């Protein structure tokens, strides 16, 4: 049974929005095993007339980020010593709000408590991360994932690009069997943030 997700809720990739019998897939969604899932971070719209479900990733809510904010971001690029991310939403105590996208960077020193030689494998482009803002410099947010609640909450397999599931303390790809060991995952991996 798919939980009822209401229009206006914020969803992340992989969140189940509806069953295929109830709605047809609209924009930024995909169909899997009879379910309609979100393909992006965005706001869900259920068109009751057309019986169509879509996710809209854009908003005009201006970004006002400051130190300590917890945000959801999509990894855009992974370099040796830093990762670039698009900040897409801000998590408040009882709700998550979509923001107009703004740039963020995760330096290698803010990823794990232990020494990392490089960031390859810690993130993959497309991964959704829960991060905390350290400071905002020239419009770019410096982010950290260096605590157990922070890190990747939705990730992909580096071999086949399929979304991966958390099994015990590791990520596993159910499509190709790849076990992902190096990703910096959050203890909230797989959790939904819609309210």
Of 19, 22, 61, 160, which lies in the binding site for Zn ion, with binding defined by CB under 5 A?
160
Nearer Cβ to Zn ion (30/92): 30
Q: Is 165 in the site for Zn ion (CB under 5 A)?
A: no
Decide if residue 133 touches Zn ion (CB under 5 A): no
Nearest one of 44, 57, 49, 56 to 17, comparing CA atoms: 44
**Measured from the CB atom, is 97 or 172 closer to Zn ion?**
172
Selected binder of Zn ion within 159, 167, 170, 195 (CB under 5 A): 159
Say how many residues touch Zn ion, by CB under 5 A: 8
What stretches of 20-126 adopt beta strand conformation (E)? 24-25, 29-32, 35-38, 42-47, 52-56, 70-78, 82-91, 96-107
Instruction: Characterize 135-146 residue by residue with b for buried, 16 or more Cβ atoms within 10 angstroms of its Cβ, and e for exposed.
Output: ebeeeebbbebb
Out of 173, 188, 192, 193, the residue judged to bind Zn ion by CB under 5 A: 173
- Tell me the three state secondary structure of residue 112: coil
Footprint of Zn ion (CB under 5 A): 157, 159-160, 162, 173, 175-176, 178
């Amino acid at each position: 049974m798919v939980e009822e997700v209401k229009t206006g809720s914020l969803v992340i990739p992989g969140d189940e929005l509806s069953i295929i019998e109830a709605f047809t897939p609209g924009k930024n969604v995909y169909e899997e095993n009879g379910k309609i899932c979100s393909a992006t971070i965005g706001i869900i719209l259920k068109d009751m007339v057309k019986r169509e479900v879509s996710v809209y990733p854009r908003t005009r809510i201006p970004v006002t980020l400051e130190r300590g904010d917890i945000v959801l971001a999509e990894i855009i690029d992974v370099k040796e010593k830093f990762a670039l991310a698009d900040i897409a939403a801000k998590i408040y105590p009882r709700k998550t709000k979509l923001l107009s996208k703004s740039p963020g960077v995760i330096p290698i020193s803010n990823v794990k408590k232990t020494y990392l030689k490089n960031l390859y494998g810690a993130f993959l482009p497309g991964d959704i991360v829960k991060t905390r803002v350290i400071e905002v410099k020239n419009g770019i947010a410096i982010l950290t994932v260096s605590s157990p609640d922070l890190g990747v909450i939705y990730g992909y397999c580096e071999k086949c690009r399929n979304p991966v599931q958390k099994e015990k303390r590791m990520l596993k790809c159910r499509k190709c069997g790849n076990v992902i060991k190096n990703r910096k995952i959050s203890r909230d991996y797989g959790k939904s943030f819609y309210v």
